Amino acid sequence: MAIVALVSPKGSPGVTTTALACALTWHRRLVLAECDPAGGSIMAGYLGGAVPGPRGIGELAVAELRDGRLDRDFWSQLIDLDAPRRERLLLPGITDPAQAGSVSPLWQRFADFFLALEKGEPAFDVIVDCGRLHAPSPPWPILRAAALVLVVTGARLPDLSSARATIAALQRDFREHRVAAGSLRLLLVGEGHAQAEISKALELPVIARLPHDPRTAEVLTVGGTVRANRPLMRAANALEVPINSILDRRRARLGWRSLPSEVPDAV
């Protein structure tokens, strides 16, 4: 399995909505990790605050800094998005800005832990919502560890201008840290310029284009019934095919395989 990181330029469509749509249509075991340094929104939004008590990456960070308990406490901090199957699990993001100071020094620790999940028994894919790249303290170690980094952007000129700067920042950092080339892709959202035109202008492949679907985006943002036949959910479901094509080539190259096993309990 592998880490798929989603990041957005300034002013672009919601990366959290995109990540959640992908997570809800994923066909293998998955952890959706909210690693946006500006804070998570799925607990209060899509889940409507229905899960009691503090939960998520902020609590894990405090436990890790205090007692080195990330390995022990991780599974208890997850929420089952598809209960009781325990196959689509959410690690909520921070809800209090004060938690950012605890989480930021641990981005590398979380990156290493997520990498271990893809080789575990059972193995998990990890979709990581990294938020906007230009927020304070972005999770660079997670982006560097990802097998695939999707730059989520609108397809109109102002969006593409911001995307160009974000892509340049990612490429510059990856060169400096000797990250293998080829992990970056564009994920377009909504109407605008043609895919081929955008790919040529930004010199980056486009993996897919998601439709403008405000009704479904509203449900994913503030809660409600997700309908699988809606345009956004159908497109998110289809997106798994090109993603897995890239990841399967990586797995074949590394010789990994997944073994069936029981999934640890999550709420």
Write the CATH number for 93: 3.40.50.300
What is the torsion angle, in degrees rounded to the nearest 10, for the CA atoms of residue 192, residue 198, residue 201 and residue 206? 160
Higher-confidence position of 172 and 120: 172
What is the band of 260 on the pLDDT scale with cuts at 50, 70, 90? very low
Residue 261 has pLDDT above 50, yes or no: no
Q: Does 222 map to a domain? A: yes
Q: Does 263 map to a domain? A: no
What is the band of 254 on the pLDDT scale with cuts at 50, 70, 90? low
Residue 134 has pLDDT above 60, yes or no: yes
Enclosing domain of residue 233: 3-254
Say what percent of the chain tops pLDDT 90. 76
pLDDT of residue 6: 98
What is the band of 182 on the pLDDT scale with cuts at 50, 70, 90? confident
pLDDT of residue 91: 97
pLDDT of residue 50: 79
Kindly provide the b/e burial profile for residues 73-82, where b requires at least 16 CB atoms within 10 angstroms of the residue's own CB. Answer: ebbebbbbbe
pTM summary value: 0.92
Q: Does 83 map to a domain? A: yes
Q: pLDDT for 93-115, tens place per residue?
A: 998 877 888 899 999 999 999 99
Residue 258 has pLDDT above 50, yes or no: no
In DSSP notation, 125-185 reads EEEEEEEETTSSS--HHHHHH-SEEEEEEEESHHHHHHHHHHHHHHHHHHHHTTPPTT-EE
Q: Does 262 map to a domain? A: no
Q: Does 145 map to a domain? A: yes
pLDDT of residue 246: 87
Q: Does 228 map to a domain? A: yes
Q: Does 44 map to a domain? A: yes
What is the band of 262 on the pLDDT scale with cuts at 50, 70, 90? very low
Number of domains in the chain: 1
Q: Does 267 map to a domain? A: no
The CA angle 179-73-95, to the nearest 5 degrees, is 75
Mean pLDDT of 202-221: 96
What angle separates helix 231-254 from helix 15-25, to the nearest 10 degrees? 70
Mean pLDDT of 66-92: 93
